[in-house]
Chains A and B, each alone.
Chain A
Amino acid sequence: MQSANMLLRRIVRSAVLPFAAQQGMKKDLFPHSRTLSLALCLKQDKSCEPSEKLDLDEWKKVMKSGLQEEVSGAVSEAKELSSLAAARETLEMWRLAGRAVPENISEEQLKAFMECPSKSAKKKYLKYLHLKELHKKNDKRKMDEKRERRLEAQDQASKTDETKKRSFICLWSSTMDKAYNWRAAQSMIFGQPLVFDMSYEKEMSVREVANTVRQIVQSESCNRRSVDPFHIHFCNFKEDSLYHREFIKNYREAWDKLLITVTDQCYTEIFPKDKLIYLTADSPKVMKTFDHDKIYIVGSMVDKSIKTGLSLARAKRLGLETAALPLEKYLLWSSGAKNLSLDQMMHILLTLKDTADWKKALEFVPKRKYCGFVNTPVKEMKKTLDVSNTLKLGKGREEVEKRFARNYPKTYKVK
């Protein structure tokens, strides 16, 4: 497209008025161009007597003149479009129309786009690709700027030519890695197990699996960096599953060197049942304290659509004890789902393990989801809740009540 535009511009600039000569030919090509010929007459008038009069249809001529060149090229190209090419072309048109569409799209992505079941699914997917592209571009720009700055700094450093004396060789990251790995290795022998249940692949879309793996990678890294890491187990892990492929995408060669236990066995086969506790937001039981002798299980799942009770059902099936974080007890919840991301879970569990301080641990719940910590005894909870509601809505209490009444009418009929 870009090059075509350039070409056009050149044509228009170089040949200002070859239109008249082509006029006859054009008429045959475009039977509807009444206004066009009218405009040409106008133009000729103008050349006879120069005036301030504007030729309003001149843009059409410009547009059509470019066309001349393009038509001859484009038509011969390919009459029939393959469905893939047609989709590509549609995308290009959407982009021109100013919709959120990526500039470049790979064959694979294009196929995924065509397989989207509905219009809105297509739109969402394109928007996702578009945003991804934008992020990538921004990152690249920032990297380039940084590099430039660094080169500049180096230049200056070399000019001043100043050598520093250090007592250590600068090997921070690899030294740290060694230290971390040492700890992780220790945890594999002596550490408290923490299980990630990898049996939710069927319940998730491809993107959800990718998000899950990303969250687990983050959890693993923060576990490795902690003072006393868990011994992480991936249970129910199938070779060549989507999970596996995503992990390899994230870790590359490091996947085989990770200091964690990966198994296709179920946690019930590895650990005694009475020691297992399945953590799920749907659990009716609320966790009171962190138990160092228990083995906690976290479901490796991201559910963008609401799949309530999925992990609870799994625990019920296996007859395991379940628990939910005491979010209500410690936080004034404002909005958002009670299920947290896997890395947040990891942060919370690590903090609990080290400090047993709920307040400190629950700092890792995203701030947007709660308005504050509860300090008051349970009796006064209700009052605080009312106050917080009034504060949140910025309205009088009656207004809040009225709202409530509207949302939950006491009497309703089924007609």
Chain B
Amino acid sequence: VQPPEKPLQAEEWNKLREDFQSPEVFEEVMLNSMIRCNSPIDVAKSLLTHVAKRDGDIAYNVLVKYLTLCVQQGQVSEIHDVYDIMKGRFRILESGAYNLLTKGFSNSNQWRMALTVLEEVKKVMIPSRTCYESCIKAASRHQEMKLGFELYNEMLAKDVVPTLDVLQSFFDFSRGVKGAELQKELFGILLYLRENQIYPHRTFMRSIKLWFESLPGGNWRGRLTKIKDGGQCPVCNHQLEDSNLTEEEYSNLSERIIRDVIHGTDTFRKTSPKEFEAFQTFVESRLPFDIVIDGLNVSHIKSRKMQCENLFDAVNYLAKDNARLLVLGRKHMLMNTSNWKPETMKKMQNKADFFFAENISEDDAFLLYATLRSGKHCRFVTRDFLRDHKACLSDSLTRHLFRKWQRGHQIALKKCFPSVFSQQPAFRYDCVVQTTGDTWHIPYKDVFEEKYSYRVPGKWLCIQQKS
């Protein structure tokens, strides 16, 4: 329906309503289309008046729709009135209305009302992130950074995840403001990014850069750069943190992989206790390996070639530097079939150790175990992203550790021209926000959307302090 351009009389509304197919929802539909067309507020008012006169009451959802329109147009006094009416009529409101109210008030000069509303919300539920977002933005816009950070910390304490927008607004509004406390809080945000492996997007990165450069007396200077494979920053020659896990992290991760991925709720789901034990003794007796290969995955690299030849090429290539290899496969590879020739298998077994799992077992779990057991230098070869195994880990911290370890230890084989293997070097440096005190290195994404969780940005912001 097309909303009218001018306020209408009751009779005119009545007529419109009668012409509408389902009169019960007429007001709602009409207000929706008013919101869409951003109609003048007087038109909506005339509709409400008509409804109020007819029924002696206005339904809550209609009021919320009207409130949406008011917030959209920044009609502060109207928002106020609607708030009063709602508060008088209903003991509590629901989150939609609260979101609208905080948003409406926070964008006006009565932004403190948004805080009042927030307090009210807290009495009945955990405020939504939109509520917090509006209040924090309003506070920082009015240079009440301390208040903003209080709300931010409160939000984190309640497990409400802040949007990047909120974090960015802190940097935007702190530009040029001096204060050790403030500086500490903002560094805290950067560390929050680090801990949660969040990469800021381009505009957020720019806000961070400008804030650093605006610090009075700090002599901070930010440059955009790309980091090469070696992990050295071309701007300041600083060597980035390496991707190795600490001893503690490493043993933690191995333990969790054995517990959550291999055993899980039932060891029989991925293997069997007998088989796993056999594998363990096999691995222990031949430790340590340099490279562990997922035989079946590698054998499927080229569809035209026979599967065992694909694997043979890979083993030959990787065995060149006298690396100790372990190839994981399944028992069916030992059968003489069109894809698996016993002669080729024999030749391979001279160059590498082989372990054949049952046909219904999952070899990936063995791959992870053998690699972790061999030690930090050991890497593994597979094209699998191991997402399902990551998902088996129960907490996000371990999942981050897993990703980090995977980045540093997974070799992906690239399929190129006939019979040439090119080896992707595993990441030697850790792709995460990092600092040494007088330098900051912050990886950033070009686009807002994060498309693949395994892909890390190659672009960096290098910030150094000139003394």
A141 contacts partner chain B, Cβ-Cβ < 8 Å = no
CA distance A58 to B272 in the complex (A): 76
Contact of A58 among B49, B57, B60, B414 (CB under 8 A): B49
- Inter-subunit contact B48/A59 (CB<8 Å): yes
CB pair A35 B61 closer than 8 Å? no
CB pair A412–B383 under 8 Å, yes or no, is: yes
Q: Check if A58 sits within 8 Å of B53, measured CB to CB.
A: yes
Given contacts A74-B91, A97-B64, contact A414 B410 (CB under 8 A): yes
From residue A248, how far is it (CB to closest CB) to chain B in Å?
A: 29
In angstroms, Cα B359 to Cα A415, docked, is 31
A411 touches B415 (CB 8 A): yes
Tell whether B161 is near chain A: CB-to-CB under 8 Å. Answer: no
Stretch of A49-57, A168-176, A210-218, A349-357 on the interface side? A49-57
Q: Which of under 10, 10 to 19, 20 to 34, or 35 or more describes the interface residues of B?
A: 35 or more
Question: A57: which B residues are within 8 A, CB to CB?
Answer: 45, 49
A146 to B167, CA, bound (A): 62
Given A63-B58, A313-B266, A316-B268, decide whether A58 and B94 contact each other with a Cβ distance below 8 A: no
Interface pair A97/B96, CB less than 8 Å apart: yes
Known contacts A58-B53, A316-B268; A64/B88 CB under 8 A: yes
Whether B46 contacts A54 by the Cβ 8 Å rule is yes
Kindly state whether residue B412 has any CB partner on chain A within 8 Å: yes
Q: Which of chain A's residues have a CB closer than 8 A to the CB of B407?
A: 414
**B389 on interface, CB distance cutoff 8 Å:** no
CB 8 Å contact bits of B29-70 with A (1 = contact, 0 = none)? 000000000000010011011011101111111001000000
Q: Which of A11, A55, A56, A96 contacts B60 (CB 8 A)?
A: A96
CB distance from B302 to the nearest CB of A (A): 9
Q: How far is the CA of A91 from the CA of B7 in the complex (A)?
A: 34
Q: Are B269 and A313 closer than 8 Å at their CB atoms?
A: yes
Instruction: Kindly state the separation between the CA atoms of A96 and B91 in the bound complex, as whole angstroms.
Output: 13
Contact of A70 among B52, B88, B96 (CB under 8 A): B88
CB-defined contacts of B58 to chain A, threshold 8 Å: 59, 62-63
Is B455 part of the contact surface with A, judged by Cβ < 8 Å?
Answer: yes
Q: Is the CB of B89 within 8 A of A412?
A: no
Asked if B412 contacts A62 (CB within 8 A), the reply is no
Quick check: is A310 within 8 A (CB to CB) of the other chain?
yes
Contacts of A86 in B (CB 8 A): 92, 124
Cβ of A59 and Cβ of B269 under 8 Å apart? Answer: no
Contacts of A415 in B (CB 8 A): 427, 454-456, 458
A286 CB–B CB distance under 8 Å:
no
Across-interface contacts of B456 in A (CB, < 8 A): 415
B424-467 vs A, Cβ < 8 Å mask (1 yes, 0 no): 10010000000000000000000000000011101000000000
Chain B residue with minimal CB distance to A60? B81
Question: Which residues of chain A are near B410, meaning CB under 8 Å?
Answer: 414
- Chain A residues with CB under 8 Å of B42's CB are 56
Of residues B96, B270, B406, which shows the largest number of chain A Cβ atoms within 10 Å of its Cβ? B96
B92 touches A89 (CB 8 A): yes
Q: How many A-B residue pairs have CB under 8 A?
A: 145
CB contact under 8 A between A309 and B270, given known A54-B7, A56-B7, A410-B415: yes
Contact with A414, one of B91, B266, B267, B454 (Cβ below 8 angstroms): B454
Question: Shortest CB–CB separation between residue A254 and chain B, in angstroms?
Answer: 35
A414 to B427, CA, bound (A): 9
Interface status of A93 (Cβ within 8 A of chain B): yes
B420 within 8 A of A: no
- A135 / chain B contacts, CB cutoff of 8 Å: none
- Chain B contacts for A410, CB-based, 8 A: 415
What is the bound-complex CA distance between A52 and B454, given in angstroms?
A: 67
Q: Once bound together, how far apart are the Cα atoms of A388 and B89, in whole Å? A: 60
Which chain A residues border B277 with CB–CB below 8 Å? none
B55 contacts A93, C-beta separation under 8 Å: no
Query: Which residues of A in the span 52-103 have a Cβ within 8 Å of any Cβ on B?
Result: 52, 54-60, 62-64, 66-67, 70-71, 74, 81, 86, 89-90, 93-94, 96-99
Q: How far is the CA of A58 from the CA of B266 in the complex (A)?
A: 68
**Chain B contacts for A33, CB-based, 8 A:** 81, 84
**A54-B49, A59-B45, A96-B61 in contact; A36/B414 too (CB < 8 A)?**
no
A36:B92 contact, CB within 8 angstroms? no
Contacts of A93 in B (CB 8 A): 60, 90, 92-94
Residue of A nearest to B454 (CB): A414
Chain B CB within 8 A of A317 CB: yes
**In the complex the two chains form, is A56's CB within 8 Å of B85's CB?**
no
The contact of B424 among A313, A317, A414, by CB within 8 Å, is A414
Kindly state whether residue B77 has any CB partner on chain A within 8 Å: yes
Interface centre among A12, A67, A96, A99 (most CB of B within 10 A): A96
By beta carbon, the residue of chain A nearest B270 is A309
Assess A313 versus B268: contact at CB under 8 Å? Given A9-B56, A90-B124, A412-B383: yes
CB nearest neighbor in A for B47: A59
Query: Least Cβ distance of A394 to chain B in Å?
Result: 27
Question: Which B residues between 294 and 327 are near A, CB-CB below 8 angstroms?
Answer: none
Question: Looking across the interface, which residue of chain B has its beta carbon closest to that of A77?
Answer: B91
Q: Which residue of B lies closest to A93 (CB)?
A: B94
CB distance from B19 to the nearest CB of A (A): 21
| B280 at interface by CB-CB < 8 Å | no
Residue A34, interface by CB 8 Å: yes
Q: How far is the CB of B338 from chain A (nearest CB, A)?
A: 16
**Pairwise interchain contact A71-B88, C-beta atoms closer than 8 A:** yes
Selected contact of B49 from candidates A12, A34, A59, A413, CB within 8 Å: A59
Query: B125 within 8 Å of A by Cβ?
Result: yes
Contact in complex: A412, B412 (CB < 8 Å): yes
B94 touches A90 (CB 8 A): yes
Cβ-defined contact, B49 with A55, below 8 A: yes
| B56/A66 in contact, CB under 8 A | yes
Measured CA separation A412–B360 after assembly (Å): 27
> Nearest 5 A-B pairs (CB), nearest first?
A313-B268, A96-B60, A59-B52, A12-B56, A62-B52
Question: Which A residues lie at the B interface, using CB under 8 A?
Answer: 5, 8-9, 11-13, 30, 32-36, 52, 54-60, 62-64, 66-67, 70-71, 74, 81, 86, 89-90, 93-94, 96-99, 203, 284, 308-310, 312-314, 316-317, 410-415
Given A9-B55, A63-B52, A316-B272: 11 more A-B contacts, CB < 8 Å = A8-B56, A35-B77, A56-B7, A59-B45, A59-B51, A63-B57, A66-B57, A96-B59, A96-B60, A96-B90, A309-B269
A-B contacts, 20 of them at CB < 8 A, read A5-B57, A32-B81, A55-B49, A56-B42, A59-B45, A59-B58, A66-B57, A74-B91, A86-B92, A86-B124, A93-B90, A98-B28, A309-B269, A310-B266, A310-B269, A313-B266, A314-B266, A317-B266, A411-B415, A414-B454
Give the A-binding residues of B (Cβ under 8 A): 7, 9, 28, 42, 45-46, 48-49, 51-53, 55-61, 64, 77-78, 80-81, 84-85, 88-94, 96-97, 124-125, 265-270, 272, 359-360, 383, 385, 406-407, 410, 412, 414-415, 424, 427, 454-456, 458
